[in-house]
């Protein structure tokens, strides 16, 4: 599927919009930009691209992709399905339209060349929508958290309680440092 066009090629869609429906493989570039990504499915795009008379290009798509990233707890691979809207406005370099005409909610950008390439903006949207924490199905079903010699993982809700109830004196190895800034505290 094509996601890069010369602006002259898109001018013929001023009276009707260009249907964008298909998939594109962005796995290599996504993995290069984010080393946490293990794998991705082809990115499915469905929507339209319309052209306004004054060289304004409206892109409205629904993006669907499946990414594989490591579990936040065990680093085991987890498949995550993502689906989100992608809506942006592009102005040709010579367009008389000002970016100030668009509201803050509308993502508008002036192109630097006479080419509309959606690969980087779509990648940006995928990376922005990627969840910050994922867990395997087994991790979601159990309350068991990793632990080892002299360390444990606590859930966020228990973390504050644990810190407040811990020994106020701290690590005895740092006791000699407590008088270091004594004059600042007085």
- What tens digit of pLDDT does each residue of 125-178 get? 999 999 999 999 888 887 777 778 888 777 777 766 666 555 556 677 777 777
The pTM of the full predicted model, rounded to 2 decimals, is 0.78
Give the angle 39-41-47 at the CA atoms, nearest 5°: 140
65 vs 11, higher pLDDT: 65
Average pLDDT for residues 52-56, to the nearest whole number?
Answer: 87
**126 contacts 14 by C-beta, under 8 angstroms:** no
Phi/psi for 148 (5° steps) reads -155, -165
Instruction: Write down the pLDDT at residue 165.
Output: 58
Instruction: Write down the pLDDT at residue 162.
Output: 60
Concatenating the DSSP letter of every residue in 26-51 gives: -HHHHHHH-TT--EEPPEEEEEEEEE
For residue 186, pLDDT over 60 is answered with: no
Instruction: Write down the pLDDT at residue 159.
Output: 67
Residues 6+ apart with CB under 8 A from 49: 10, 13, 17, 18, 20, 57, 58, 59, 60, 116
Question: Quick check: helix, strand or coil at residue 57?
Answer: strand
Instruction: Write down the pLDDT at residue 167.
Output: 52
**33 contacts 123 by C-beta, under 8 angstroms:** yes
- What tens digit of pLDDT does each residue of 23-49 get? 999 999 999 999 999 999 999 999 999
Length of the chain: 186
For residue 104, pLDDT over 90 is answered with: no
Average pLDDT for residues 9-23, to the nearest whole number?
Answer: 91
Range of weakest confidence among 13-22, 123-132, 175-184: 175-184
Instruction: Write down the pLDDT at residue 175.
Output: 75
Average pLDDT for residues 96-115, to the nearest whole number?
Answer: 91
Instruction: Write down the pLDDT at residue 183.
Output: 65
């Amino acid at each position: 599927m094509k996601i890069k066009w010369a602006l002259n090629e898109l001018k013929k869609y001023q009276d009707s919009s260009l249907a964008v429906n298909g998939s594109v493989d962005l796995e290599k570039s996504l993995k290069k930009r984010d080393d946490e990504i293990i794998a991705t499915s082809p990115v499915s795009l469905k929507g339209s691209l319309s052209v306004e008379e004054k060289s304004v290009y409206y892109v409205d798509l629904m993006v669907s992709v499946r990414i594989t990233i490591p579990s936040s707890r065990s680093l085991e691979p987890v498949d995550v399905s993502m689906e989100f809207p992608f809506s942006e406005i592009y102005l040709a370099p010579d367009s008389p339209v000002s970016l100030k005409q668009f509201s803050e909610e509308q993502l508008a950008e002036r192109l630097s060349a006479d080419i509309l390439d959606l690969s980087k903006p779509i990648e940006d949207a995928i990376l922005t929508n990627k969840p910050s924490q994922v867990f395997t199905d087994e991790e979601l079903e159990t309350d068991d958290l990793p632990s080892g010699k002299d360390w444990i993982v606590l859930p966020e809700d228990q973390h504050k309680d644990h810190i407040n109830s811990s020994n106020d004196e701290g690590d005895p190895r740092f006791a000699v440092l407590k008088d270091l800034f004594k004059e600042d505290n007085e």
